[in-house]
Every structure is written in structure tokens, then in C-alpha cells.
């Protein structure tokens, strides 16, 4: 974490406060992050390793976890997996992962196990607070009371209740996966590039577009009959993704060997 002379973020009437669990074995990082979050209006719990983090989360369920990837004993990936496994049907606790590594594979691993966002060390504490606020706003944003349920291709989404099902079975989705699925269902048949999804689903005008790629891959693993040959969320070469809203996408004749091969090739978009 680098030094910064930025103004500390302070709470305002439009901000979403909540309880944040900060998990980092570096006491300096933990103290600074805690100070910034508390000045921004959050209640903060702290833990220095994986088991302590899981105990703290069990005692006081956090609204969000700031989780270091490199922890002694049990790393952040395993902590994230266990937090997800403990959801017991409730919405998963959002996770913002911290990593000191510059390797993209490590960042992608964090997203693959369910992290909602990541920040690479050294980082600006102010940027971290903004990321935390962004994630929590998405969690707390209530859908309009009159927003209809969304349904297509055996999928159903209730935005107000934040519930999603496939063929009547409840789907276990992270915050971003749910928002991404709802967005695709709102705009069936449209090609959505990653910049548009980053802006409309994540609410960011900046960020690593691989975040979108990984979340699409994770969503496919939960809704597609064959994630390696997706028929619901199709890759459009060089353009983005298109949600196929037909009622029986798996009963259709194959769109063509070239199209299927193109999607399986993961052309950098998925």
C-alpha cells in the first residue's frame, strides 16, 4: 500500500454504511484500511488469518469482506470458498480481494472462487473505500416495486427478492453473477460488449475487463447445460456477448460447427 495524500473519504447522506470485515496479516495495512473505512462511516471488524476471519464472520455476519489473498496457513482463496459454502441459501457475502501480486492469474483465481472485485497492492486506501461503497450500493439497491420478474429459456429472476432459478431450481449466485444474469434477461438478443457490462452492471467507467470475462464464465458454469459449448450466453466474435432468449435453446439444431468452435475457443471475451 503506497503513501497517499488524498483526502480521506467521509460519509455523506447518499452513502451506504455497513459492517466490513478486514482480513490482512500486515498490521499496518489493516490499521490504515480500517481507519479509512471507519472515517467513511463503516463498522469494521479485523482478522489476521483465515481461521480468525471465519470465526469473526460467524460471530457477526459482515456486509462485505476485504480479504487479502496471501494469508498465513489458509490463503484468501480458501477463506473465500468457505465463506461461500457457509451461505446456506442466503445471498453470498460480497468479497473485495487484496493481492500483492501483479500476476493476472492470481487476480483471475480470486474472481473464479467468487470474489466480487479485487484491488492490487500497493493501492490507494481511498480507492478501496470507493470500491467497497460501489459493491455495497449494488447489494442494497432495491429494485423498483413494480419491476416485473424476468424469465426466458428456463431461467427466472425476481429482482426485488434477488432470487434466481433455473428450471425451478434455486441458483446460488454471487452479487455480480445475479446482476449480470438479470441484465442479460433485460436485454435479450442484444450484443453487449464488456465495456457496456462493466459500466451498466458494475457501475464503473474504469476497471480490468477480465473481471467481466471471468464472471461470464462463472455464470455460464451455473446456467448452461454444457458451459464449454454455451447456448444461452453466446460469444459474438470481436463484439461481446448475446443472451439467446429462445424457449428451448438446447433443442435447436446446432448453429454450425464454426460458431460452436468459436465460442469454445474463448476468443478473449469469455
Note the pLDDT tens digit of each residue in 171-202: 988 878 888 999 999 999 999 999 999 888 88
Residue 14: pLDDT over 50: no
Residue 17 near residue 39, CB atoms below 8 Å: no
Average pLDDT of span 31-38: 95
Distance of CA 221 to the CA centre of its chain: 15
Cell 455495497 -> residue: 136
pLDDT digits (tens, 9 = 90+) for 47-82: 999 999 999 999 999 999 999 988 988 998 899 888
Which pLDDT value is given to residue 145?
57
What average pLDDT does range 203-227 have in this prediction? 85
Residue 161 has what pLDDT? Answer: 80
233, pLDDT greater than 90: yes
The pairing of beta strand 95-99 with beta strand 117-120: parallel
Of the chain, the percentage scoring pLDDT greater than 70 comes to: 76
Residue 34 scores a pLDDT above 90: yes
Look over the chain and give the mean of its residue pLDDT values, rounded to a whole number: 80
40 or 90, which is more confident: 40
Burial class (CB in 10 A: 0-12, 13-18, 19+), 129: buried
Q: Please state, in angstroms and rounded to a whole number, the distance separating the CA atoms of residues 259 and 264.
A: 9
CA 268 remoteness from chain centre: 19
Amino acid at each position: 500500500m503506497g503513501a497517499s495524500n488524498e483526502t480521506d473519504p467521509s460519509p455523506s447522506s447518499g452513502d451506504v454504511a455497513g459492517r466490513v470485515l478486514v482480513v490482512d496479516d500486515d498490521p499496518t495495512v489493516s490499521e490504515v484500511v480500517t481507519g479509512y473505512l471507519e472515517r467513511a462511516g463503516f463498522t469494521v471488524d479485523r482478522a489476521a488469518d483465515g481461521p480468525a476471519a471465519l470465526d469473526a464472520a460467524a460471530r457477526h455476519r459482515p456486509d462485505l469482506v476485504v480479504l487479502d489473498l496471501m494469508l498465513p496457513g489458509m490463503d484468501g482463496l480458501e477463506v473465500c470458498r468457505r465463506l461461500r459454502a457457509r451461505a446456506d441459501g442466503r445471498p453470498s457475502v460480497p468479497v473485495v480481494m487484496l493481492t500483492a501480486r501483479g500476476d493476472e492469474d492470481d487476480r483471475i483465481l480470486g474472481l473464479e472462487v467468487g470474489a466480487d472485485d479485487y484491488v492490487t497492492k500497493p493501492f490507494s486506501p481511498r480507492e478501496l473505500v470507493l470500491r467497497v461503497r460501489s459493491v455495497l450500493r449494488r447489494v442494497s439497491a432495491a429494485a423498483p416495486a413494480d419491476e416485473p420478474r424476468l424469465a426466458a429459456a428456463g431461467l427466472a429472476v425476481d429482482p426485488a427478492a434477488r432470487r434466481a432459478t433455473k428450471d425451478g431450481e434455486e441458483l446460488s449466485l454471487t452479487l455480480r453473477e445475479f446482476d449480470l444474469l438479470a441484465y442479460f434477461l433485460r436485454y435479450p438478443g442484444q450484443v453487449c460488449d464488456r465495456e457496456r457490462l462493466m459500466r451498466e452492471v458494475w457501475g464503473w467507467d474504469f476497471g480490468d475487463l477480465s473481471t467481466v470475462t471471468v464472471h461470464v464464465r462463472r455464470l455460464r458454469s451455473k446456467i448452461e447445460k454444457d458451459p464449454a459449448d454455451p447456448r444461452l450466453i453466446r460469444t459474438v466474435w470481436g463484439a461481446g456477448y448475446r443472451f439467446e432468449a429462445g424457449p428451448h435453446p438446447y433443442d435447436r439444431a446446432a448453429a454450425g460447427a464454426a460458431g460452436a468452435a468459436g465460442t469454445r475457443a474463448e476468443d478473449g471475451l469469455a
